[in-house]
Amino acid sequence: MRGKAFKFGDNISTDHIAPGRLFHLRSNLEEFSKHVLEDADPDFASKMQKGDFVVAGSNFGLGSSREHAPQIIKIAGVGAVIAKSFARIFYRNAINIGLLAIECDTDGIDAGDELELDIEKGILTDLTNGAIIPIEPLPPVMIKMLNDGGLVAHIKKNGGFNLE
Protein backbone atom coordinates (compact mmCIF):
# COMPACT_ATOMS: atom_id res chain seq x y z
CA MET A 1 0.00 0.00 0.00
CA ARG A 2 1.23 3.44 -0.84
CA GLY A 3 -0.19 6.90 -0.18
CA LYS A 4 0.21 10.34 1.29
CA ALA A 5 0.08 11.04 5.02
CA PHE A 6 -2.62 13.31 6.40
CA LYS A 7 -1.48 14.11 9.92
CA PHE A 8 -3.75 14.58 12.92
CA GLY A 9 -2.96 14.97 16.61
CA ASP A 10 -3.99 13.13 19.75
CA ASN A 11 -7.55 12.44 20.87
CA ILE A 12 -9.31 12.61 17.52
CA SER A 13 -12.85 11.68 18.53
CA THR A 14 -15.60 9.92 16.63
CA ASP A 15 -17.29 13.33 16.49
CA HIS A 16 -14.23 14.75 14.70
CA ILE A 17 -14.44 11.81 12.29
CA ALA A 18 -18.22 11.65 11.79
CA PRO A 19 -19.63 15.03 12.90
CA GLY A 20 -22.70 14.61 15.09
CA ARG A 21 -24.42 17.60 13.45
CA LEU A 22 -24.50 15.53 10.24
CA PHE A 23 -25.86 12.40 11.88
CA HIS A 24 -28.96 12.67 9.67
CA LEU A 25 -26.67 11.37 6.88
CA ARG A 26 -26.12 8.04 8.68
CA SER A 27 -28.55 6.36 6.26
CA ASN A 28 -26.46 7.65 3.33
CA LEU A 29 -22.89 6.71 4.22
CA GLU A 30 -21.57 7.66 0.77
CA GLU A 31 -22.73 11.25 1.35
CA PHE A 32 -21.58 11.14 4.99
CA SER A 33 -18.09 10.10 3.83
CA LYS A 34 -17.76 13.42 1.98
CA HIS A 35 -17.58 15.01 5.45
CA VAL A 36 -15.12 12.57 7.03
CA LEU A 37 -12.78 14.24 9.54
CA GLU A 38 -14.32 17.60 8.63
CA ASP A 39 -14.16 18.88 12.22
CA ALA A 40 -10.45 18.07 12.48
CA ASP A 41 -9.51 19.28 8.97
CA PRO A 42 -12.27 20.92 6.90
CA ASP A 43 -10.41 20.19 3.64
CA PHE A 44 -9.45 16.56 4.30
CA ALA A 45 -12.19 14.85 2.27
CA SER A 46 -11.60 17.06 -0.76
CA LYS A 47 -7.79 16.74 -0.66
CA MET A 48 -7.25 13.05 0.07
CA GLN A 49 -6.90 10.50 -2.69
CA LYS A 50 -7.94 6.86 -2.58
CA GLY A 51 -5.27 4.91 -0.69
CA ASP A 52 -3.92 7.86 1.32
CA PHE A 53 -3.30 7.40 5.04
CA VAL A 54 -4.74 9.03 8.13
CA VAL A 55 -1.81 9.38 10.55
CA ALA A 56 -2.52 10.36 14.13
CA GLY A 57 -1.23 10.48 17.66
CA SER A 58 -2.67 8.69 20.67
CA ASN A 59 -6.23 7.62 21.40
CA PHE A 60 -7.61 7.89 17.86
CA GLY A 61 -11.38 7.34 17.73
CA LEU A 62 -12.27 8.08 21.33
CA GLY A 63 -15.82 8.92 22.27
CA SER A 64 -19.03 7.24 21.26
CA SER A 65 -19.18 3.76 19.83
CA ARG A 66 -20.78 4.90 16.58
CA GLU A 67 -19.83 2.52 13.81
CA HIS A 68 -20.23 5.28 11.24
CA ALA A 69 -16.79 6.71 12.08
CA PRO A 70 -14.68 3.83 10.70
CA GLN A 71 -17.26 3.13 7.98
CA ILE A 72 -17.02 6.60 6.43
CA ILE A 73 -13.22 6.55 6.66
CA LYS A 74 -13.24 3.32 4.67
CA ILE A 75 -15.88 4.54 2.19
CA ALA A 76 -13.87 7.74 1.61
CA GLY A 77 -11.02 5.52 0.36
CA VAL A 78 -8.47 5.84 3.16
CA GLY A 79 -5.91 3.03 2.83
CA ALA A 80 -5.27 2.72 6.56
CA VAL A 81 -5.40 4.64 9.80
CA ILE A 82 -1.96 4.70 11.42
CA ALA A 83 -1.84 5.96 15.00
CA LYS A 84 0.15 5.65 18.22
CA SER A 85 -2.93 4.11 19.83
CA PHE A 86 -6.64 3.65 19.25
CA ALA A 87 -9.70 3.84 21.44
CA ARG A 88 -10.71 0.24 22.05
CA ILE A 89 -14.22 0.41 20.55
CA PHE A 90 -13.05 2.31 17.45
CA TYR A 91 -10.31 -0.27 16.84
CA ARG A 92 -12.76 -3.17 17.16
CA ASN A 93 -15.27 -1.45 14.85
CA ALA A 94 -12.52 -0.75 12.30
CA ILE A 95 -11.42 -4.37 12.16
CA ASN A 96 -15.04 -5.57 12.04
CA ILE A 97 -15.73 -3.53 8.89
CA GLY A 98 -12.35 -4.16 7.25
CA LEU A 99 -10.61 -0.82 7.88
CA LEU A 100 -6.89 -1.35 8.45
CA ALA A 101 -5.84 0.22 11.77
CA ILE A 102 -2.10 0.11 12.51
CA GLU A 103 -0.40 1.10 15.77
CA CYS A 104 3.13 2.47 15.64
CA ASP A 105 5.22 5.52 16.51
CA THR A 106 3.95 8.31 14.24
CA ASP A 107 6.13 11.15 15.61
CA GLY A 108 8.56 11.14 12.66
CA ILE A 109 5.85 11.29 10.01
CA ASP A 110 4.91 14.72 8.67
CA ALA A 111 1.82 15.80 6.79
CA GLY A 112 2.30 15.17 3.08
CA ASP A 113 4.95 12.48 3.50
CA GLU A 114 4.70 9.60 1.02
CA LEU A 115 4.31 6.32 2.90
CA GLU A 116 4.53 2.68 1.93
CA LEU A 117 2.97 0.04 4.17
CA ASP A 118 3.81 -3.66 4.06
CA ILE A 119 1.50 -5.31 6.57
CA GLU A 120 2.85 -8.81 5.97
CA LYS A 121 6.46 -7.81 6.69
CA GLY A 122 5.51 -5.37 9.44
CA ILE A 123 7.20 -2.33 7.89
CA LEU A 124 6.02 1.22 7.33
CA THR A 125 8.45 3.18 5.17
CA ASP A 126 8.40 6.96 5.01
CA LEU A 127 9.59 7.43 1.44
CA THR A 128 9.94 11.19 1.99
CA ASN A 129 12.46 11.07 4.85
CA GLY A 130 13.72 7.49 4.49
CA ALA A 131 12.57 6.34 7.92
CA ILE A 132 11.65 2.71 8.38
CA ILE A 133 9.09 2.30 11.15
CA PRO A 134 8.47 -1.20 12.48
CA ILE A 135 4.88 -2.27 12.99
CA GLU A 136 3.53 -5.51 14.38
CA PRO A 137 3.05 -7.79 11.36
CA LEU A 138 -0.54 -8.92 10.99
CA PRO A 139 -1.20 -12.64 11.26
CA PRO A 140 -2.37 -14.31 8.04
CA VAL A 141 -5.91 -14.79 9.39
CA MET A 142 -6.20 -11.04 10.09
CA ILE A 143 -4.99 -10.20 6.58
CA LYS A 144 -7.49 -12.67 5.13
CA MET A 145 -10.28 -11.19 7.25
CA LEU A 146 -9.41 -7.63 6.17
CA ASN A 147 -9.19 -8.71 2.51
CA ASP A 148 -12.63 -10.29 2.85
CA GLY A 149 -14.01 -6.91 3.98
CA GLY A 150 -14.00 -7.35 7.74
CA LEU A 151 -15.20 -9.85 10.30
CA VAL A 152 -18.84 -10.11 9.23
CA ALA A 153 -17.96 -10.44 5.53
CA HIS A 154 -15.29 -13.03 6.41
CA ILE A 155 -17.77 -15.14 8.37
CA LYS A 156 -20.38 -14.91 5.61
CA LYS A 157 -17.84 -15.83 2.94
CA ASN A 158 -16.35 -18.78 4.85
CA GLY A 159 -19.46 -20.09 6.59
CA GLY A 160 -17.89 -19.41 9.95
CA PHE A 161 -14.60 -18.12 11.31
CA ASN A 162 -12.05 -19.95 9.16
CA LEU A 163 -8.52 -19.75 10.57
CA GLU A 164 -6.91 -21.19 7.45
Give the model's pLDDT for residue 144: 86
Q: What is the pTM of this model?
A: 0.91
CA gap 120, 99 in Å, rounded: 16
pLDDT on residue 164: 57
Task: Split the chain (164 residues) into runs of 10 and give each run's mean pLDDT.
Answer: 97 91 83 92 95 97 85 96 95 91 96 95 95 88 86 82 58
What pLDDT was estimated at residue 14?
Answer: 93
